[in-house]
Amino acid sequence: MTNNSEMSEMIAEAFRTALLLTASETLAESAVLDAIGALDWGGISNHRLQQETIKSAIRLSAAGPDEIDRAFSLLPVELARVLFLERHLRHCFVLRVLLCLDRETCSRISQLPIRQIDEAVSHALQRLAWMSAGASTSAKSYPSASRTFTFVHAFGEMAEPPVVWQMEYKHGY
């Protein structure tokens, strides 16, 4: 059994994952609640919570709108630009790169062929690199913490790549 602190951290990680997949605070909350409802609390693990959250988030994001403005303010700036990827690119990137899932697991979860997973991750990486180089034509400002960042400048002037998100997912679902 996990203690309250461990449970809080597990739920926070699940929420960040769902937020990145759905680009919506409302849908992310729903995905985590769905995942919690699907679990047997006697034997809950971080792995199972993440697995159920991912399934629910992908299912919910297909039907719901992105709420990038609000979601952007809830993530570290280094992660927030992932929200600007097209939905299928974002899903593949989050599953394959941020969560370190193998290709077969990503294919099973997203219901896409492995070839499409590879292509989507490649496109996502190219678009994120393009964004970080400041080539985006978007000049929309987004609030984050105590200051406002302009999308083009927030990512175009980083001296070194950010630490994306430390997670301990070394095995597939």
Q: If one looks up domain 4-156 in CATH, what number appears?
A: 1.20.140.160
pLDDT at 45: 81
pLDDT at 137: 45
State how far the Cα of 83 lies from the Cα of 15, in Å rounded to an integer. Answer: 14
pLDDT at 30: 94
| Paired sense of beta strands 141-144 and 147-150, if any | antiparallel
pLDDT at 73: 85
CA distances from 111 to 84, 107, 124, 167 (A): 22, 5, 18, 24
Phi, psi of 142, rounded to the nearest 5 degrees: -130, 135
Distance in Å from the first CA to the final CA of the chain: 21
Global pTM value: 0.71
CA-based nearest residue to 145, from 41, 48, 75: 75
**Mean pLDDT per 10-residue section of the chain, whose length is 173 residues:** 78 94 93 89 79 93 79 85 92 94 92 94 92 56 36 33 33 34
Pair of tokens at residue 26: 């409302």
Alpha-carbon torsion (7, 111, 66, 129), positive or negative? positive
pLDDT at 141: 43
pLDDT at 25: 92
CA distances from 139 to 10, 46, 59, 76, 170 (A): 35, 38, 31, 19, 37
pLDDT at 26: 92
Torsion angle in degrees (nearest 10) through CA of 127, 99, 48, 108: 60
pLDDT at 6: 85
pLDDT at 139: 42
The radius of gyration computed from the CA coordinates of the chain, to the nearest angstrom, equals 16
Determine the residue type at 160.
Answer: E
Q: Where are the domains of the chain?
A: 4-156
Pair of tokens at residue 67: 């709420």
